[in-house]
Structure 1
Amino acid sequence: MQAKDTSSEDQPLFIRLAASDLSQLSSHTGRSSGSSRVVALSISIPLGVAVLGTLFIGLWFIQCKRRRLLQKVDDDIPTLFKTFTYKELKIATNNFAHKLGKGAFGSVFKGTLSDKTLVAVKKLEGSTQAEKQFRAEISTIGNIHHVNLVRLRGFCVEGSQRMLVYEYMPNGSLNSFLSHKSEEADKVLDWNTRFIIALGTAKGLLYLHEECRDRIIHCDIKPENILLDEDFSPKVADFGLAKIVGRDFSRVLTTTRGTRGYLAPEWLTGVPITVKVDVYSFGMTLLEIISGRRNIDSSVQESQYYFPTWAATQIQKGNTIGIVDERIADKADIEEVRRVAVVSILCIQEDENGRPSMAQVVKMLEGISEGNVERYEKSLQALVDDQWVE
């Protein structure tokens, strides 16, 4: 019998065996083939069980992770809100056919639920940012309710899909009216409607800052985020950048910013922010409500034109009515215009400590109290002293 010794440079190795030993070896080899089948079977069964067990554990882990995710969401949302499936919302929006608008984190679509209720479905896009905005909106608007805040009806968490379902606002955003150049009567907001929108928005912010359980900084107040119902009552919307501040704290550090043209100066310094950033943005929005014009005109260079400076100059000259939207100026209540103008100037002061609180803003708009005259005059003069082109 010849055997190879693989450890000796592949040279053959000869072994002398007796005939009886050779037959015994052959019979043993025959038996081992049957035994090998038994051994193979005894190994394959436990191995299969182990594989199935591993697969089961993996599926159980995924399910638990999903359950924890849903539980985390459920912990933030009152039980009165419905959990929608992706299929339900796809049907409700006719496969997301009617787009109402698009923002930095996704698009909003008009939908009709099975009970014929109209809704606005916000479909968030971008995995990381979508998740952040979803969490931000759930943890803020999901736990509060006010007549001047948009109402959340439900949500969808399914795979990578993140969607929020809101009450439908028939008249869209305030921006669509302020920036509209048409003379059509139904596209021009009269002064009374504008004043109601200004006051209602102020009350919504007051609730966020001082009346709900946790102080909430919206961080992105602008006409696009003020929605109008069938009666043109305002509802503050889009809480994707909102920050929750405990009642024991007044400031919060954040790397996110609002929108250019509405940013308070402190945003640019990187210091922790307060609710006064919302006050500043609201003041800029007030100027647009009065005038029907954007505070930054993209058609001219920013260095040549800054609307708040122009408006402050007109007010200082005693021409307050001159900053009112020319389409409604002849029918505007000049006393209300003056009050709103004073509030707007006080709100956009560079020094955050000089800006009024939203509680003070509401009282000033309602005519219950007057603004700080000295601060108003200083703020007005500071704006007038800026460079501008008439």
Structure 2
Amino acid sequence: MLPLPLLPVLLLFVVVDGYPSICSNATCGDLTIAYPFWLNSSTSSSCGYSGLGLACEGNTTLILLDQSHHRYRVSHIDYDTQTVSLVGDAETFSTTSCPLLHFNLTIDTSSPLHLTSSGSNITFFYNCTKNASWPSAVELSGCPDYNKTSYVLMDDGYPGEASKYGCEAAVVAPVLDTHKESMGDVPLDRRYADMLMAGFELNYSPHSGQCGICERSGGWCGYQHNQTNGSLGFTCFCHSGPTTDHCGHGYSKTRIKTYTIAGSSSILMLCLLSFAFWLGYKKYGCKKKSKEMARIESILQKNGTIHPKRYAYAQVKRMTRSFAEKLGQGGFGAVYRGSFSDGRQIAVKMLKDYKTDGEDFINEVASISRTSHVNVVTLIGFCLEGSKRALIYDYMPNGSLEQYAFKDNSKGKIILGSEKLFDIAVGIARGLEYLHRGCNTRIVHFDIKPHNILLDQDFCPKISDFGLAKLCLNKESAISIGGARGTIGYIAPEVYSKQFGAVSSKSDVYSYGMMVLEMVGARDKNISANSESSSQYFPQWIYENLDEYCVSASEFNGEIIGIVRKMIVVGLWCIQLSSTDRPTMTRVVEMLEGSTSVLELPPKVLLIGNGHCK
């Protein structure tokens, strides 16, 4: 529904065709400069706010913020959030271990620009004759122009006390909180320069006074040079031409009458349409959305400080460069590649919301937030803003295990040997053991499969995608679920039929076993050519031909028979029909890390494939 206050704005577009050419957009490098910003030039007129004039030098956009004649580089303008990103002079940071700042940032009170709430300050003290007693002071090294001690404080500091310690200068610099928080692991000789080079943000707000009156009358605020004395004077650029008042004075009585009739009709029609949309939204959509959002917010507040950092949707757009690079697509939504301003690579999963009640989002945030394990993916942050829901993870350069677990998968450019697959299988087992026993709250994943196992740069596996996960009390053994959940081929029998017993953490054990057998089968390209194995359920066939398969697989690949046999035996134990016959993940880790000679095949039972055959 269109908010009623926006109707007068829409009316202006109905009755006025176009806008003055002087207010058209400009470019500098790859940056678009649009109203209320304007590009300085030799022309006698400018359309935009006072204080938002930009200069373009060598495809670099610059802005002058105060009377010190120091200019900042404009790296980005977000017209949706009314945010401009700025960076100081690069020469200031030439000495990375000791950035030399010569003045504080000052913004004129009449300027439409102001610091955002997402930033804070750091303070530099230069050439001090006495040792500083500030608790958070860090001594700088390598300051080329000073022969005494210099310090930096990660807050506003105490600029007034500079003389107390004999400091030659105290300079306060704004930085983004996200950069400040991410600098803990950066070496000191680069930390503060990197933080400053990442820049800071300012918001700009609509002008009041003459500019406000001009815009409300349908014009564009600007300035013209006085031909007599060369000074700048206020001008309102209207469709009918520039004026020193507002656009209403530039129209004839006939045009005013025409526009009044057209405007009244348009307002009436828009009001009727808006009212109809509002009634429908109020009746069907608003209640559902408000209850859902209230429930999600309640759960996040209940978790308190457990959940990770929350980001605004505008920040997510900046991180992904407006979702420029898609990494994958699934039933949950799409995953995009992005990065923080410090260069750290991330993966952003945008969740679909039109067919869900937010359960996937709640499960993901609530479950992963309680974990901390090398084999479980780390949730860095999330976004919950209206219908926009996003989850932010570390970027995994080697993708998912799916690329390597299928022998016919063309995406797998790297062929993993049995030893590497075995290491991956052990890592996944340790991650599941942690979820089942190591967390404060027991977590059952319910969707273990190659697609949900991510691999970092060293092929260390990370369990991901907790959208179907279930949080349980440690004392609980059986789990109540609303219906079958998981992926066909990996779902434990008891999940889709009660006749096989109660649902528990052993359901993850079954999915893990199917995945391990799939990893083993992926290593032998002769399986698909074997008419006997291809026509029979693979776990059944490999149970009956275990020794023959291990020898052939090892000879073909030149790998160790024991590794192949161990993975097969463990996989067969994990996929027993009765959950009571399956080992716990603790026992699975013990079997994988123990001797192959003591492993025995499970009792031969009728194995049933649930749509997953090799």
TM over 0.5: yes
Cα pair distance change 1:342/1:77, threshold 3 Å: farther
Deviations 1:83-135 (A, max 9, x none): 11111111211222222222222111111122211111110003352611000
Cα pair distance change 1:104/1:184, threshold 3 Å: closer
SS in 2 for 1:290: helix
State how 1:1-390 maps to structure 2 within 5 Å.
70=297, 72-76=299-303, 78=305, 81-129=308-356, 131-179=358-406, 181=408, 187-254=414-481, 255-270=483-498, 272-292=502-522, 304-315=535-546, 318-322=548-552, 329-367=556-594, 373=600, 376-379=601-604, 382-383=606-607
Runs of 5+ consecutive residues of structure 2 not aligned to the other structure: 1-288
Distance 2:316 2:365 in 1: 18
Per the TM alignment, residue 320 of structure 1 is displaced from its structure 2 partner at its CA by 2.2
Deviations 1:54-86 (A, max 9, x none): xxxxxxxx9999788546324336468221111
Deviations 1:228-273 (A, max 9, x none): 0000000000000001111121111112410000111112214641
Cα pair distance change 1:69/1:352, threshold 3 Å: closer
Same amino acid, percent of matched pairs: 39
Deviations 1:164-186 (A, max 9, x none): 10111110000012236489995
Per the TM alignment, residue 310 of structure 1 is displaced from its structure 2 partner at its CA by 2.4
Distance 1:382 1:69 in 2: 44
Distance 1:187 1:76 in 2: 41
Distance 1:251 1:273 in 2: 6
Amino acid at match of 1:289: M
Distance 1:101 1:185 in 2: 15
Deviations 1:316-366 (A, max 9, x none): x54324467x9xx42322112111111001001111100000000000000
Distance 1:322 1:223 in 2: 25
Cα pair distance change 1:275/1:93, threshold 3 Å: same
Highest relative contact order (Cα 8 Å, sep 6+), 1 or 2? 1
SS in 1 for 2:399: coil
- Does the 8 A contact of 1:106 with 1:122 survive in 2? yes
Aligned length: 315
**Rg larger for:** 1
- Does the 8 A contact of 1:291 with 1:323 survive in 2? no
Runs of 5+ consecutive residues of structure 1 not aligned to the other structure: 1-61
TM-score (norm 2): 0.47
- Does the 8 A contact of 1:136 with 1:241 survive in 2? yes
Cα pair distance change 1:127/1:382, threshold 3 Å: same
Deviations 1:123-178 (A, max 9, x none): 00033526110000111001111000000000000011111101111100000122
Going by fraction, where is helix more abundant, 1 or 2? 1
Distance 2:569 2:540 in 1: 14
TM-score (norm 1): 0.72
- Does the 8 A contact of 1:314 with 1:322 survive in 2? no
Moved more, 253-262 or 126-135: 126-135
Amino acid at match of 1:284: M
SS in 2 for 1:291: helix
Deviations 1:197-241 (A, max 9, x none): 000000000000111111111000000011000000000000000
Q: Partner of 1:53 in structure 2? A: none
- Does the 8 A contact of 2:572 with 2:602 survive in 1? no
Cα pair distance change 1:371/1:244, threshold 3 Å: farther
- Does the 8 A contact of 2:400 with 2:454 survive in 1? yes
Distance 2:454 2:304 in 1: 22
SS in 2 for 1:350: coil
Distance 2:470 2:535 in 1: 34
Going by fraction, where is strand more abundant, 1 or 2? 2
SS in 1 for 2:425: helix
Distance 1:372 1:339 in 2: 7
Distance 1:183 1:157 in 2: 36
Distance 2:491 2:290 in 1: 43
SS in 1 for 2:373: coil
Amino acid at match of 1:106: G
Cα pair distance change 1:70/1:205, threshold 3 Å: same
Distance 2:473 2:339 in 1: 37
SS in 2 for 1:260: coil
SS in 2 for 1:195: helix
SS in 1 for 2:356: helix
CA RMSD of superposed structures (Å): 3.4
